[in-house]
């Protein structure tokens, strides 16, 4: 089990890097191609459409090919795509390759996430939070590397670095022999094959909307935060790139403790505090005129949002027992859809209006998440009881 958790953590480190690398160099990439922010939004959207496709088909691939083969395919796709990015192909080709990148990290995230939730008997939130910590470390490291490469004029080297990391992880999975595969005769497999009862659908749909909002919010911040800071406060490119490092740095710190705190205070109460605090911080960021105060707010935002994804994923699976792989896949897929559409909308707002409007949109999404969470928690216990009967 320890070896599985270790390799799962390494994999999340790499996909954390893959999620963020494009955003970290987005400003420089758009300047290189002579494009607008909405073009960058299209690039990010294409990645997340591939992510959506990969997540939706990951249960099917996992059952047909086995978890190990599915993970190998996903990391091979990610390696190929990051290698293609390294050549700075014509923009049309970059947009074509982008879904392959999303497919790679989407399948990986869904399959490994479901695998860990199923494999861990107790303290699932703590285990998932620890693995998500490595996602945060990956997202933290990339902006540091990108900021340095931007400063010395070689930002495009970020993509070959990613290709090497993805390729090395592919090889690691190739030689790993302890992947827990499903058995056709297992009770869990039989239960996974049945459909959700009617009582589960309101809970599931609310959870999917919540995940769409969260991932869209996280990816918009991760990809546009430097550009927003440049537009609102006038930061230079290298300094602005560090805002992502601050955001993900505090995310990493938060994720170290988030699982343990959530287990202690309860998943629902934990999520309520996170979403309320995150909404307030986004509203404050929209009126901040100071670089130092903005960095403080960004750091606090990373801290309060840190455990949201992992704890919400475990909460939903505890409220919908017996459907782990399907529920995990649908929730992450919904997140992928949000991660595709919201950054696109953010880019359009920045081009059409201003960076301030982008922050208003993100604060509105956070407020919507709060309403969805309250509704989700009111539905949860009744749906869980219905599923057990």
pLDDT value at 389 more than 60 = no
3-state helix, strand, coil in the chain (%, to 5): 90, 0, 10
Grade residue 105 by pLDDT with cuts at 50, 70 and 90. Answer: confident
* d(C-alpha 329, C-alpha 95), whole Å: 25
The whole model's pTM is what? 0.77
pLDDT for res 384: 56
Angle at CA of residue 206, ends 182 and 105, nearest 5° = 50
pLDDT value at 226 more than 90 = no
Kindly report the average pLDDT of the chain as a whole number: 84
Q: How far is CA 164 from CA 8, 16, 57, 314, in A?
A: 18, 15, 26, 32
Closest CA to 373 of 234, 269, 217: 269
pLDDT for res 187: 44
| 90 compared with 63, residue with greater pLDDT | 90
- Section 124-135 average pLDDT: 80
Grade residue 58 by pLDDT with cuts at 50, 70 and 90. Answer: confident
How far from each other are the two terminal CA atoms of the chain, in whole angstroms?
Answer: 32
| 270 compared with 27, residue with greater pLDDT | 270
* Residues sharing a CB contact under 8 Å with residue 41, sequence separation 6 or more, in sequence order: 343, 344, 345, 346, 347, 348
- Section 361-373 average pLDDT: 93
Q: What is the pLDDT of residues 236-277, one digit of tens each?
A: 777 787 887 788 889 889 988 888 899 889 999 999 999 999
Please provide residue 359's backbone torsions phi and psi, each rounded to the nearest 5 degrees: -65, -35
Contact 92/56 with Cβ under 8 angstroms?
no
pLDDT for res 345: 85
Question: What share of the chain has pLDDT > 90, as a percent?
Answer: 31
pLDDT value at 7 more than 70 = yes
Burial label for 275, CB within 10 Å (0-12, 13-18, 19+), is: buried
pLDDT value at 382 more than 70 = no
- Section 332-354 average pLDDT: 82
* Residues sharing a CB contact under 8 Å with residue 53, sequence separation 6 or more, in sequence order: 99, 102, 103, 106
pLDDT for res 186: 44
Please provide residue 321's backbone torsions phi and psi, each rounded to the nearest 5 degrees: -65, 145
> DSSP characters for 112-155?
HHHHHHHH--S-HHHHHHHHHHHHHHHHHHHHHHHHHHHHHT-G
Grade residue 100 by pLDDT with cuts at 50, 70 and 90. Answer: very high
Closest CA to 213 of 309, 103, 283: 309
- Section 344-353 average pLDDT: 82
* d(C-alpha 57, C-alpha 333), whole Å: 10
* Residues sharing a CB contact under 8 Å with residue 100, sequence separation 6 or more, in sequence order: 50, 77, 78, 80, 81, 84
pLDDT value at 385 more than 60 = no
CA dihedral 338, 339, 345, 348 (to 10 degrees): -170
pLDDT value at 388 more than 60 = no
pLDDT value at 291 more than 90 = no
Grade residue 349 by pLDDT with cuts at 50, 70 and 90. Answer: confident
Q: What is the pLDDT of residues 159-189, one digit of tens each?
A: 999 999 999 999 999 988 777 666 443 444 4
pLDDT for res 184: 46
pLDDT value at 372 more than 80 = yes
| 340 compared with 284, residue with greater pLDDT | 284
* d(C-alpha 358, C-alpha 346), whole Å: 5
* d(C-alpha 3, C-alpha 176), whole Å: 9
Lowest mean pLDDT among 12-21, 34-43, 113-122, 179-188: 179-188
Closest CA to 37 of 347, 375, 376: 347
């Amino acid at each position: 089990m320890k070896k599985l958790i270790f390799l799962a953590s390494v994999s999340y480190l790499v996909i954390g890097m893959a999620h963020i690398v494009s955003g970290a160099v987005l400003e420089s990439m758009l300047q290189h191609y002579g494009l607008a922010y909405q073009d960058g939004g299209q690039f990010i959207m294409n990645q997340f459409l591939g992510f959506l496709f990969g997540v939706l088909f990951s249960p099917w691939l996992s059952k047909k090919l086995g978890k190990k083969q599915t993970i190998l395919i996903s990391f091979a796709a990610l390696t190929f795509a990051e290698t293609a990015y390294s050549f700075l192909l014509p923009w049309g080709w970059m947009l074509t390759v982008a879904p392959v990148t999303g497919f790679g990290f989407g399948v990986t995230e869904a399959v490994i996430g479901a695998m860990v939730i199923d494999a861990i008997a107790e303290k699932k939130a703590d285990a998932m939070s620890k693995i998500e910590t490595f996602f945060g470390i990956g997202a933290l490291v990339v902006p540091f590397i990108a900021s340095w490469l931007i400063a010395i004029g070689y930002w495009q080297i970020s993509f070959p670095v990613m290709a090497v990391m993805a390729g090395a992880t592919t090889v690691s999975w190739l030689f790993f022999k302890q992947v827990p595969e499903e058995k056709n005769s297992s009770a869990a497999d039989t239960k996974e094959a049945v459909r959700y009862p009617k009582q589960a659908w309101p809970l599931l749909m609310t959870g999917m909307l919540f995940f769409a909002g969260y991932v869209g919010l996280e990816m918009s911040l991760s990809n546009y935060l430097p550009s927003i800071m440049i537009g609102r406060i006038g930061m230079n490119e290298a300094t602005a790139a560090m805002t992502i490092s601050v955001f993900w740095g505090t995310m990493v710190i938060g994720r170290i403790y988030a699982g343990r705190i959530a287990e202690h205070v309860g998943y629902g109460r934990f999520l309520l505090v996170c979403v309320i605090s995150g909404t307030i911080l986004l509203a404050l960021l929209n009126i901040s005129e100071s670089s130092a105060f903005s960095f403080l707010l960004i750091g606090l935002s990373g801290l309060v949002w840190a455990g949201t994804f992992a704890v919400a994923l475990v909460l939903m699976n505890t409220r919908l027992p017996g459907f782990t792989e399907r529920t995990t896949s649908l929730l992450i897929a919904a997140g992928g859809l949000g991660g595709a559409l919201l950054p696109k909308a953010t880019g359009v707002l920045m081009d059409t209006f201003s960076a301030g409007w982008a922050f208003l949109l993100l604060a509105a999404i956070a407020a919507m998440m709060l309403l969805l969470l309250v509704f989700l928690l009111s539905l949860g216990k009744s749906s869980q009881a219905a599923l057990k009967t």
